[in-house]
Structure 1
Amino acid sequence: MESQILSRIPLKNLMDLKIDFAFKRIFGSERNKSLTIGFLNALLQRTGRNTIKEVTFINQEVGGEYKEDKQSRLDIVVKTQNEDYINIEIQLTNKNDMFKRTLYYWSRLYNSQLHRGNGYHTLNPTITINICDFTLFKEHAHFHSIYRLYEKTTLQRVQPSDDVLEIHFIEMDKFLKAWLMGELNPIEDMLAKWLLLLGMVDRRKQKVYEDIYKVLEELAMKDIKLREAFEAWQELSQDPESIIAYESRVKYIIDQTALIDDAKYHGEQAGIEKGRKEGFQKGMQEGIEKGIQKGIQEGFQEGMKAIVKKMIGKGNSNDEIMELTNLTVEEIQALRQEED
């Protein structure tokens, strides 16, 4: 009977929880607050006195806006009972300067706490969590990377009372590889349970890991939070309005990824041809190599400009364009003037 409860719909119909829209509907709603708390405690390894017991959601978008505003930021921002600020964001593509981008959004959340007339002592610890659907750090194999402030020589962290910066990266492809290699025990590892939930469905690859489902289904019989997550997930995946918004978001993500890939491909092809000509004129192999690299860069930039102009024409804001392309405000404004 219980097994039937966990398989009311075909697994292929379940939403991919790595799609930011679906992730936020499960972990960013007041209704599912207990799931958010459980996920954060597992990821941040909070136990005992440090356990997160309560969160307040900050700057939540209204559900209806997703149909019209496909580029609205779909991250989750919460404040804990200890007034720690936590930002959770799904990263589907490896944008340029990922770490700088993360620091930029971390600083905005940290800075937003300081109000006129208040001292710096009122600033609270701020944590950024990036769940990445790609490999970010090729130099190491572990899937959970944590960054904090520390002293260079002694490697000593700053005092806990001043430990205001904490950045987490979860690399889902490395996590799934560790799972397939038999290196994880979701019975003892609380974080593994939640990440298996996120990794079970891959919408962009049209893949469902049925072996993961079988393990989670068995665990859910004894883990009430995991069971509640399953039920919320299935309910969301059957809601007609949510399905429309989800599919719209998936299409937008795929289209934008294709635009970037297309611009990069055409830029590389044009750059290679231009580089060959420049290299031939110089008559040296060094000239060919430098010309190709220069041409690739210039071709990619031209392709990126074309994408930005399309986004400007559709009415996208500077922040939305910055997030996708990593261009500066000044560069975007210059392109806007070209369009005028």
Structure 2
Amino acid sequence: MRSTLLKRIPLERLMDLKIDYAFKQLFGNEKNKNITIVFLNAILQRTGRDRIKDISFSNTESSAEYVDDKQSRLDLLVVTDADERINVEIQFTNKHHMIKRSIYYWSKVYQSPLKKGMAYSELQPSIAINILNFDLLDQTERFHTSYHLYEDEEKFKLTNVMEFHFIEMSKLIRDWKQDKLNPWNDVLARWLLMLGMVDRRNGKVYDDIFKELEEIAMKDETLRTAFQNWEHLSSSEDEYFAYEARLKHIFDEEAAQREAELRVQEEKQNEKEETARRLLASGADIKTIIVATELEKERVIEIKRKMQLP
């Protein structure tokens, strides 16, 4: 599929920007700095922060989370012209305790500028933005929520140095399907829809999202530039190879985790069935065994039959 916006590649070739490698290559690149500023301002305008005019990128590669996975820490860490630090994490898989993880990394970012002889008053605000490819918060259907420290009874804000954002992409797409989003009037919605347009987990590309964003991009120069750079990134054989390697690593990790979970379930099931056999051998009735093991009645009856008990 070709269009007036994409000149060289079909939609299906575009990288999924919810993969941390692809996200950072687009938004963590110095030549794309203006795109990143617009994207961050679209998020932070919801909490009334001053608009960012300029940013500098900080290196996050040196603090690999795992020795054997140098791509595990692919956050986007920037310092704004107001000396605020913004840490953006994009998580494709729900394998971490995201809330505690976010607080932990926020604390690292907040204290990192403090040098010997500095006063605590010199510490500047740090903002954590978490873009998640899964549902996290059961308490709300909103796809974007933000958090600060407030007094419990009177609800006044204690400080502006701590701010957390959680963006749940699955809820965003749900809102899109239910016609609850208007990217023409909502700058954040158009940028997040760009992130959600390609869904590699389900092998899907949302043509309807692309068509609407394509129209908007004819008037939104920054969005148009983002699409062009996204296309250029996806057209590079070397970049696409690295992206596919990262995607494979993520899926392999998910498969290994799922296999481990299934093994645990199987072990628990075997333990329950062994308990059922011992109880049956001791003469316990089926109802007692069901309560003790939480096995289905049919399974207990089958075990008893195989044991050839009366």
Which secondary structure state, in structure 1, belongs to the residue aligned with residue 150 of structure 2?
coil
Contact 1:279 1:286 (C-alpha < 8 Å) held by counterparts: no
What residue in structure 1 maps to residue 222 of structure 2? 225
CA distance in structure 1 between the partners assigned to 2:121 and 2:110 by the alignment? 12
1:25-46 deviation digits (Å, cap 9, x = unpaired): 1100101000110000001117
CA distance in structure 2 between the partners assigned to 1:71 and 1:280 by the alignment? 48
Task: Say if 1:143 and 1:48 are closer, same or farther in 2 by CA, change over 3 A.
Answer: closer
**Which residue identity is paired with 1:247?**
E
Of 188, 192, 196, the residue aligned with 1:195 is: 192
CA distance in structure 1 between the partners assigned to 2:274 and 2:89 by the alignment? 44
What residue in structure 2 maps to residue 106 of structure 1? 106
Aligned-residue offset at 1:273 = 1.7
1:287 aligns with 2:284: no
Aligned-residue offset at 1:49 = 8.2
Q: How many residues align?
A: 281
Which secondary structure state, in structure 2, belongs to the residue aligned with residue 124 of structure 1?
coil
CA distance in structure 2 between the partners assigned to 1:6 and 1:76 by the alignment? 26
Aligned-residue offset at 1:235 = 0.2
CA distance in structure 2 between the partners assigned to 1:48 and 1:173 by the alignment? 25
Between the aligned residues of both structures, percent identity stands at 48
Which secondary structure state, in structure 1, belongs to the residue aligned with residue 154 of structure 2?
coil
CA distance in structure 2 between the partners assigned to 1:214 and 1:157 by the alignment? 42
Contact 1:143 1:172 (C-alpha < 8 Å) held by counterparts: yes
- Out of 267-276 and 99-108, give the one that drifted further: 267-276
Contact 1:280 1:288 (C-alpha < 8 Å) held by counterparts: no
1:259-306 deviation digits (Å, cap 9, x = unpaired): 00110011111112213434665764553249xxxxxxxxxxxxxxxx
Task: Say if 1:286 and 1:123 are closer, same or farther in 2 by CA, change over 3 A.
Answer: farther
What residue in structure 2 maps to residue 41 of structure 1? 41
What residue in structure 2 maps to residue 271 of structure 1? 268
Aligned-residue offset at 1:185 = 0.6
CA distance in structure 1 between the partners assigned to 2:185 and 2:256 by the alignment? 42
Which secondary structure state, in structure 1, belongs to the residue aligned with residue 191 of structure 2?
helix
1:191-231 deviation digits (Å, cap 9, x = unpaired): 00100110000112111000001001100000000000000
Aligned-residue offset at 1:20 = 0.5
Aligned-residue offset at 1:239 = 0.6
Task: Say if 1:49 and 1:98 are closer, same or farther in 2 by CA, change over 3 A.
Answer: closer
CA distance in structure 1 between the partners assigned to 2:240 and 2:81 by the alignment? 34
CA distance in structure 2 between the partners assigned to 1:246 and 1:217 by the alignment? 24
What residue in structure 2 maps to residue 8 of structure 1? 8
TM-score, reference length from structure 1:
0.78
Contact 2:5 2:224 (C-alpha < 8 Å) held by counterparts: no
Larger radius of gyration: 2
What residue in structure 2 maps to residue 52 of structure 1? 52
> Larger helix proportion, structure 1 or 2?
1
1:242-264 deviation digits (Å, cap 9, x = unpaired): 01100100100000010001100
Contact 1:6 1:217 (C-alpha < 8 Å) held by counterparts: no
Q: CA RMSD in A?
A: 2.2
What residue in structure 1 maps to residue 201 of structure 2? 204
- Out of 281-290 and 31-40, give the one that drifted further: 281-290
What residue in structure 1 maps to residue 241 of structure 2? 244
What residue in structure 2 maps to residue 317 of structure 1? none
**Which residue identity is paired with 1:167?**
F
TM-score, reference length from structure 2:
0.85
CA distance in structure 1 between the partners assigned to 2:54 and 2:241 by the alignment? 32
Of 158, 161, 164, the residue aligned with 1:164 is: 161
Aligned-residue offset at 1:72 = 3.8
Structure 1: unaligned runs, 5 residues or longer: 63-67, 291-340
What residue in structure 1 maps to residue 65 of structure 2? none
1:186 aligns with 2:183: yes
CA distance in structure 2 between the partners assigned to 1:134 and 1:48 by the alignment? 26
**Which residue identity is paired with 1:192?**
A
Contact 1:279 1:289 (C-alpha < 8 Å) held by counterparts: no
Which secondary structure state, in structure 2, belongs to the residue aligned with residue 77 of structure 1?
strand
What residue in structure 1 maps to residue 19 of structure 2? 19
